[in-house]
Structure 1
Amino acid sequence: MARPSNHSSEFRSDAIALWRASADRRTFKDVAADLNVNPETLRTWARGSDSHPPSADASQDTETELARLRAENARLAKAEKEWQLARELLRQAAAYFTREMK
């Protein structure tokens, strides 16, 4: 069982924001040293912050995007079947004309 944290949730969210703002230049270890916390603690906070449920707006956007992608997937699957049919017809025509040439 984990022991209770000595840091407030505001401190944690600020620490995560600081790390994310400088993630391209600084490591967990660098940011944690500045804040005087263990790097693994900061890493755990960052991982935990990613698991929050999305907002209602994000959920609606996700549903809209999912519906659009499903429609596009169906359209592309239909087009693929048509291309397969066209390739098969061309293959048969090539075989027919090859036989006629002999």
Structure 2
Amino acid sequence: MPLHPRPGRGSPPTPDGETPAAELARLRARVAELEAAERKLNAERDILRAAAKYFAGETRW
């Protein structure tokens, strides 16, 4: 018998009153938010790198 039973249907709510299903839904939504933010940051970084490369190529000191 496992020491830490896997949460599933009929599991008691967590101490803060959130059911395991609600916690899972909340965490999945948070992961989706973080993944979207990561995609945006990566796109912004790529734009800045391209701009830096462009302007560095134009500089003739």
TM-score, length-scaled by structure 2: 0.72
The answer for the alignment partner of 2:20 in structure 1 is 62
How far apart are the structure 2 equivalents of 1:53 and 1:93?
50
Structure with greater helix percent: 1
Structure 2 unmatched ranges of 5 or more = none
Structure 1's consecutive aligned runs of 4 or more residues displaced over 3 angstroms after TM superposition are 51-55
| Residue pairs, 1:26-37, within 5 angstroms | none
**Over aligned residue pairs, what C-alpha RMSD do you find?**
2.6
Q: 2:42 aligns with which of 84, 87, 101?
A: 84
How far apart are the structure 2 equivalents of 1:53 and 1:96?
54
**Change over 3 Å in CA distance of 1:53–1:90 after alignment to 2:** closer
Highest CA radius of gyration, 1 or 2?
A: 1
How far apart are the structure 2 equivalents of 1:101 and 1:74?
41
TM-score, length-scaled by structure 1: 0.45
* Deviation digits for residues 15-68 of structure 1 (CA, Å, limit 9, x no counterpart): xxxxxxxxxxxxxxxxxxxxxxxxxxxxxxxxx363667572427711110000
Structure 1 unmatched ranges of 5 or more = 1-47
